[in-house]
Structure 1
Amino acid sequence: MDTFTNIPIKPVIRAYLCKKGHVVKNWKLRLFVLKPGSNYMEYFVDETKESQHSPQGRIPLFGCKVFEYSHTKSSTVRDFCFIVETVESKQWIISASSKAQQSQWMEAIREAATIAEETDEVKLQKHKSIEKSLLSEVKSKNKTPVLKLLLLGTGESGKSTIVKQMKILHHKGFSLEEQEFYKQLIVRNILDGVALLVNVITDHQLELSQETKTATNNFIVWYQVYLSKRPPTIAIKFNNATLTSTPSSPVRSPSTTPPLTPKHSPSKDNFLEDKLSQIDINQQQKHTRTNSDQSGQLFNITDFIPSIISNYITTIWSDPFIQSEVLIKAQDYHINESTQYYLNEFKRISKPSYHPTSLDILKSRATTNGVVETDFKVNEVIFRIVDVAGQRGERKKWINFFDDVTAIIFVAAISEYDQKLVEDNCTNRLHESLNLFDQICNDQNFPKTSIILFLNKIDLFREKLKRSSIQTCFPDYRDDQSYEKSSNYIKNSFLSKKRNGGNNNDSISKHIYFHFTCATDTKSFETVFNSVQDIIISKTLEFYC
């Protein structure tokens, strides 16, 4: 029979103590309350306020220091004083009624501080304190530091989304020109996504309802002409740089050309245009010159999808078979993760008055070619984020941006554990990310600086765990499919890549900080970046101070 030792429960400590004011330097009697396991010591005006739980103030206990204090600066000398100093160096001067009471409270506060946790409020105060220290040093030396963050990772890991989030948080969102750019990109993402779904149907010879089949046939006839007429890229100039985005190919595997319905050839554009004049089966109009002109406008679209095409897309996506079986098979074709989101929101997006929301823009997808540098000013500190394309063919350019790097932010999409690379369609994406992280951690050519690891796309990872085993990527994994255990296993797989070389300085210089992130969630990303900002600024203080 098991026996348990009775562990005494510590009582709540309550007493009236005198507290010196922070603004008006007088002494006031306050009821102090210290509860076992609490992260704060609270004080009240009286018992009534305590019963209403309306504290006059509270002192964070995490990491606080307690020491005796001799108060001899006024005409009234106070005995048995002590100071509670928080991690932000804020002090509370308190006076007890006796030496025994002073010792009791000092000992109790010290013990409580050892088990108190760092709350979000404490983190925020620390964050503000670090910023204040840096700004003070910068002002005294008349310097504006530029902190260069190198954003690395494999293709489609979410690096560009992080840059967009920074614009939302520190540039007050997107300009009208940028919104127009992303509106055009979203339209392309939708049309290419639907084309890929039709390609899946064609390749697998899937049976559809007659209504869905008619819609897919009509859509793809139109899409072929549209694709041949649209410009290959869309570009915008901002932040002293030109961003040219090329939407991902609508058909990546296994076909090399977009799908066609039977008896249609890509070389017969005239036939397709004639076919387009008959697409709207609900209209019984003759094919006149006016109608032909309107039909021609169907191909030259940028930021708006014509209603006739919108109807076909709505019909296709409303089919439950498309949203289940076809969408799952489309994962093997590298379908953009945003396709499902955009089609679920298509009724709103297809309106002529549509303006993209921040989330719409965050979900947009285009292949980053070359390098995009973006500056963000955060409280007189400039963060320069260098987003370098992550595809294999682009990585040779990374070395050109290693000078004066403050920190490396490595982004890994942990939701890609069961997906293959777009570049070769053979290599597991997460394996590629792990190998690249290994190189960054241990290759002497990479900057010897702190690495911040973003384990990204946790929202998609949670959903995917319900239907796809993590053993696809990690055959040796033997635990359950829970998010906590699976994500922890992946985190440890990345952290284990850092090897301690023969030079002790190398192992010290490349410290790894990690965060689980959802780059499309602005609120959670803001919390993460505040933490990252503290790490970066703390390191920078060593240089500026």
Structure 2
Amino acid sequence: MYSSLVMLLGQAESGKSTLQKQFQLYYSSQSLDRERPLWRPIVYSNILKALRMLMVELDRQYGAPPGSPSPEATPGSSPPTDSVIMAASAISIDPRWPSDLLPLHATLASLVAHEDALASELSGGIKVSRGQSGVYVRAGWQTLITPNRAWPLTDIRDSADRPTTVTNQVGRTLCGSQGKIAEFWSHPMIRRIVSTKRVRLEESAAFFLDNIHRIAQTEYSPSTEDILHVRLQTLGVTEHSFDIDIGGIAFNWLLYDVGGARHAWVPYFEDATAIIFLAPMSAFDQYLEEDPRVNRIDDSFQLFTAICQNKLLSKAALVLMLNKADLLRKKLETGTRVRKYISSYGDRPNTYEEVSEYFRAHFIQTHRRKDVSQRPLYTHFTSMLDIRATQAIIVNVGESIMRLHMASVGLS
């Protein structure tokens, strides 16, 4: 069996982890099934984070309702009583606060108070500096949320079916609060906050909140679509192994997902068979969390340029996935103007066809000018949540990479 090392590169939230899950779904669906229960607390974490961000924005705009616990409250806070909520309503507050949001705010603040405990369990106590938010995990995070720390994955299924105390507690609270969550999410004030982009929710937030009644069930098990939607930020490098067959020849793919820490890429460069670089086109109106002065599209261009110029990569096949095409289309349809954020776009039409081609041409031009080996660049427009389309691309990319690899080792 021949081995191939394939690296997934790109900035944080570019879709690397989702692509890895798509590879796993296509080539090793049984392993994804074994992991399925482990994604339950991750889904819960995504929901709690979305609720917290919305509530913090409400508090920022109108002030926290008196007597209502803050979304930043510590885990274990007692739920507010009816008398507390009534007292809060009687106190003079910002008149723009709709009275029907007050009890929802109080109830959900107690739910969100569990976020820190859940995040700590998932991350094993990892703290990330520089003000970055969210749950950060390292390779092997699955062992942190199974009662007997079972590993490897072949042994983990039975253990994963017995969730930890924190996960169970959050699950029960979600189940009891699902009506309040749905009411909060559909409230006109919340919809206005989302539509005016006062707060940038993770792209998965709307999906999970729209499906809260399905998710907030005692016997909930994450669907494949749920697993593809979850957002989980990884630290360091994680390795995934897939056995594939192309033209009757068996290959073992070692797929490396590099989780944002760019200095960690270097040791893996020299032996790479291929690089799959993901650039999120929909991020043209976003800025880096670690440096709000840097536009995410500009950062992707800079990162891609550095990869093209790196001599250690000169023998690796190079695949460019212009990702999140579906989200780009939605943004443009809502009237978001590209030239407001990318001045070089000028007066070109603000359509999906024009914008996507502009980004593709820019990457191709960068490759032509900067690539040290002048190797071919394989380019694809992708939407990682589209299972059928993505898996067709995976097959195409896999075969292309393997043909190049076979030729390089004299097998063709």
TM more than 0.5 = yes
What is the aligned length? 340
**1:220 maps to what in 2?**
109
Residue pair 1:246, 1:367 contacting (<8 A) in 2 also: no
2:367 aligned counterpart, secondary structure: coil
Q: Which amino acid aligns with 1:484?
A: E
Q: Name the CA shift for 1:419/1:458 in 2 (closer, same or farther; >3 Å).
A: same
After TM superposition, the structure 1 = structure 2 runs for residues 322-361 of structure 1, keeping only pairs within 5 Å, are 322-323=190-191, 325-329=192-196, 331=197, 333-361=199-227
Deviation track 1:178-212 (CA, whole Å, cap 9, x = no partner) reads 11211110011001111101111111228342222
Q: Which amino acid aligns with 2:293?
A: C
494, 509, 512: which is aligned to 2:377? 512
CA distance in 2, matches of 1:173, 1:428: 39
Q: Name the CA shift for 1:304/1:459 in 2 (closer, same or farther; >3 Å).
A: farther
**1:140 maps to what in 2?**
none
Residue pair 1:185, 1:247 contacting (<8 A) in 2 also: no
After TM superposition, the structure 1 = structure 2 runs for residues 487-498 of structure 1, keeping only pairs within 5 Å, are 487-498=356-367
Deviation track 1:508-527 (CA, whole Å, cap 9, x = no partner) reads 3x321100001111100111
1:452 aligned counterpart, secondary structure: strand
1:318 corresponds to 2:206: no
1:523 corresponds to 2:393: no
1:181 corresponds to 2:38: yes
Q: Which amino acid aligns with 2:403?
A: S
Q: Name the structure with the higher helix share.
A: 2
Deviation track 1:305-336 (CA, whole Å, cap 9, x = no partner) reads 4433323212201213312x21135x564421
Deviation track 1:52-86 (CA, whole Å, cap 9, x = no partner) reads xxxxxxxxxxxxxxxxxxxxxxxxxxxxxxxxxxx
391, 405, 422: which is aligned to 2:289? 422
**2:56 maps to what in 1?**
199
CA distance in 1, matches of 2:296, 2:284: 6
**1:481 maps to what in 2?**
350
1:541 corresponds to 2:406: yes
Deviation track 1:255-310 (CA, whole Å, cap 9, x = no partner) reads xxxxxxxxxxxxxxxxxxxxxxxxxxxxxxxxxxxxxxxxxx99972545443332
Q: Name the CA shift for 1:344/1:513 in 2 (closer, same or farther; >3 Å).
A: same
**1:367 maps to what in 2?**
233
| Offset at residue 174 of structure 1 (A) | 4.5
**1:36 maps to what in 2?**
none
Moved over 6 A (4+): 244-249, 297-300
Q: Name the CA shift for 1:230/1:360 in 2 (closer, same or farther; >3 Å).
A: closer
Deviation track 1:335-372 (CA, whole Å, cap 9, x = no partner) reads 21100010111111111122111010000011111111
**1:162 maps to what in 2?**
19
CA distance in 2, matches of 1:209, 1:332: 18
CA distance in 2, matches of 1:306, 1:173: 29
Deviation track 1:415-442 (CA, whole Å, cap 9, x = no partner) reads 0000111112221111111110111112
| Offset at residue 449 of structure 1 (A) | 2.2
**2:86 maps to what in 1?**
none
**2:326 maps to what in 1?**
459
Residue pair 1:189, 1:365 contacting (<8 A) in 2 also: yes
Q: Which runs of 5+ in 2 are unaligned?
A: 64-95, 134-164
> Is the deviation greater in 336-345 or in 471-480?
471-480
CA distance in 2, matches of 1:350, 1:520: 22
CA distance in 2, matches of 1:316, 1:526: 36
Q: Which amino acid aligns with 1:214?
A: P
Higher RCO by CA contacts (8 Å cutoff, separation 6 or greater)? 2
CA distance in 2, matches of 1:516, 1:375: 25
1:422 aligned counterpart, secondary structure: coil
2:49 aligned counterpart, secondary structure: helix
Q: Which amino acid aligns with 1:534?
A: E
| Offset at residue 234 of structure 1 (A) | 1.9
Deviation track 1:231-252 (CA, whole Å, cap 9, x = no partner) reads 51427xxxxxxxx797999x96
| Offset at residue 541 of structure 1 (A) | 2.1
Q: Which amino acid aligns with 1:212?
A: L
Q: Which amino acid aligns with 2:332?
A: L
> Is the deviation greater in 188-197 or in 199-208?
199-208
Q: Which runs of 5+ in 1 are unaligned?
A: 1-143, 236-243, 254-296
120, 145, 149: which is aligned to 1:232? 120
- C-alpha root-mean-square deviation of aligned residues, in Å? 2.7
Q: Which amino acid aligns with 1:420?
A: Y
Q: Name the CA shift for 1:317/1:154 in 2 (closer, same or farther; >3 Å).
A: same
Q: Which amino acid aligns with 1:220?
A: A
1:506 aligned counterpart, secondary structure: coil
Q: Name the CA shift for 1:525/1:176 in 2 (closer, same or farther; >3 Å).
A: closer
Q: Which amino acid aligns with 1:524?
A: A
CA distance in 1, matches of 2:59, 2:50: 14
1:471 corresponds to 2:336: no
Q: Name the CA shift for 1:307/1:536 in 2 (closer, same or farther; >3 Å).
A: closer
Residue pair 1:149, 1:406 contacting (<8 A) in 2 also: yes
CA distance in 2, matches of 1:228, 1:252: 14
Q: Which amino acid aligns with 2:373?
A: S
1:209 corresponds to 2:98: yes
Q: Name the CA shift for 1:230/1:354 in 2 (closer, same or farther; >3 Å).
A: closer
Residue pair 2:314, 2:372 contacting (<8 A) in 1 also: no
| Offset at residue 155 of structure 1 (A) | 0.3
Percent of matched pairs sharing the same residue: 27
2:383 aligned counterpart, secondary structure: coil
1:377 corresponds to 2:243: yes
Q: Which amino acid aligns with 1:150?
A: M
Q: Name the CA shift for 1:372/1:447 in 2 (closer, same or farther; >3 Å).
A: farther
Q: Which amino acid aligns with 2:122?
A: I
Q: Name the CA shift for 1:506/1:476 in 2 (closer, same or farther; >3 Å).
A: closer
| Offset at residue 507 of structure 1 (A) | 3.3
TM-score, with structure 1 as normaliser: 0.58
Q: Name the structure with the higher strand share.
A: 1
Residue pair 2:270, 2:312 contacting (<8 A) in 1 also: no
| Offset at residue 175 of structure 1 (A) | 4.6
Q: Which amino acid aligns with 1:354?
A: Y
Q: Name the CA shift for 1:342/1:208 in 2 (closer, same or farther; >3 Å).
A: farther
| Offset at residue 498 of structure 1 (A) | 2.0
